[in-house]
Amino acid sequence: MDQGPKSAEGARSARVAGAILVVLLASVSLALAFGGTAAAIGVSELNIVVFGQGVVKLSPPSEGVEECSGTCKELAYPDGTGVTLTAVPSGEWTFNGWGPCDEKPAPTKCVIFTTEFETKTAEASFVNPPPALPTITFPAENQQIASTGSPVKVEVAFEDGDSTVAKYECDLDAAGPPQPCTSPWVLPSVAVGAHTAYVFALDAEGNGTEVPAARHFSVVVPSTGGGGGTVEPIPGPLPLPTPPPVKLHAHWKVAGRSTTVKKLLLEQIPAGAKVRVGCSGAGCPFKSKKAKVSKGRADLTGLFGKAELHPGDLIKLRIEAGTATQLIEIKIRAGKTPKIFRR
C-alpha cells in the first residue's frame, strides 16, 4: 500500500498549519508584550468629550453606542474607520464648534479616522444664550433722593421673568467687582452725589450679557431743607457722575479648551477717550496694545487674529475719558463662553 505521497502532503500541511499557529501565537505574544490583548489587534479607540448641553451622534455606532453626552471613553472601532460625528444641541443651547477633526464636511459634522495604536479624542462645545436683562423698577431713571446731607439707605428693586436666570450680581458706580444680590438690593449708605446702579443676570453656567441693566440716580440736599433720608422724586435730570458704560459686542468660538475671538467691538466710547487692551496668559498674542478709536467705536477683533486663548487667560479693556475710567475684564474658560466683568 503506497502511503508515501499522502504522507508527504500531510506533513507539508502540518508544517503550514504549525507555521500559521506560530504566527498567531507570536502576534498574541507581541500584543501582550505591549500591554494589549489578542482581541485588541486591529482595533482603535475614540474618546468624545461634550461641553455644555447637547449630544454627539456617531455613524457608524460603536458596539451599540449611537450617541454621546458628557464624556464617552474608549469607543472601539476597526482601524481606518471614518467615524462621522454630528452635533445636536439641547433646548435653547446652540452648537459652538469642534476641536480638531480630520474632516469637517459641515459646521455640525466632524469626521475622525481611527488609527491603529492611537487613541483619538473629539471635542464638541455647546453654549447657552445668556439670560435677558432684568428690569430695574426703583429708583426711576435720574430720580433724585432727598437727604439732609448724610448718606442715605437706598433699595434698588428689579424684576425678571426669564426662567434661565440662576443668580444676580450688582455693582454701584462700577466700583466692582460685582457681588451676588437679590431684589431689593439694599445699599445701606449712599453718599450725596450722582450714582449708577448695575444689575447683571447670570445663568447656571455663569454666562450673562456683556452690558448690565443700569439705572442712574442722585442723592441730593433739597434747597428747602429737610428730607431726613426720605425718598422723594424731584423733577429734572442731573448730570451723570460718569459717562454711560460703553457697549461691548463679543462673539467667540469655543472648542474644548481653546477659545478664538470672532468679534470684539466697543461702541459708544466717549469723545476723546483712550482705549488700551491688555492680555495675560499662555494663549495671549500680546501683552498690551493701544486700540484705535474712530467715531466712538473700537474694533479689537484684529488684535487677536487666530490666537487660541487658553482657560485662565485674562483680557482687560481699559477706557479712559478724562478722570473717568471704565474697566472690562474677560476671563477665558474651558468649554464655556468667556465670563465678562465690569469693574
Residue 55 is which amino acid?
V
Name the pairing type of β-strands 43-51 and 119-127. parallel
Q: Note the pLDDT tens digit of each residue in 99-118.
A: 889 999 998 999 999 887 78
Cβ within 8 Å of residue 260, ≥6 positions away? 252, 253, 304, 306, 307, 308, 309
Taking Cα atoms as reference points, which of 46, 49, 42, 41 lies closest to residue 60?
46
Predicted TM-score (pTM) of the model is 0.48
Q: Note the pLDDT tens digit of each residue in 157-176.
A: 999 878 888 899 998 987 76
The pLDDT-based confidence of 243 (bands split at 50, 70, 90) is: low
Residue 245 has a pLDDT of: 76
Buried b (16+ CB within 10 A) or exposed e, 242-269: bbebbebebebebbbbbbbbeebebeeb
Q: Note the pLDDT tens digit of each residue in 126-157.
A: 877 778 889 999 999 999 999 888 899 999 99
* pLDDT tops 80 at residue 36: no
The dihedral through the CA atoms of 143, 144, 146, 150 has a sign that is positive
Which alpha helices (H) appear in 53-137, and where do they start and end?
A: none
* pLDDT tops 90 at residue 19: no
Cβ within 8 Å of residue 245, ≥6 positions away? 174, 198, 211, 212, 214, 326, 342
Residue 138 forms beta bridges with which residues?
157
The pLDDT-based confidence of 268 (bands split at 50, 70, 90) is: confident
Residue 318 forms beta bridges with which residues?
276, 327
Residue 42 has a pLDDT of: 77
* pLDDT tops 90 at residue 29: no
Cβ within 8 Å of residue 301, ≥6 positions away? 261, 262, 263, 264, 265
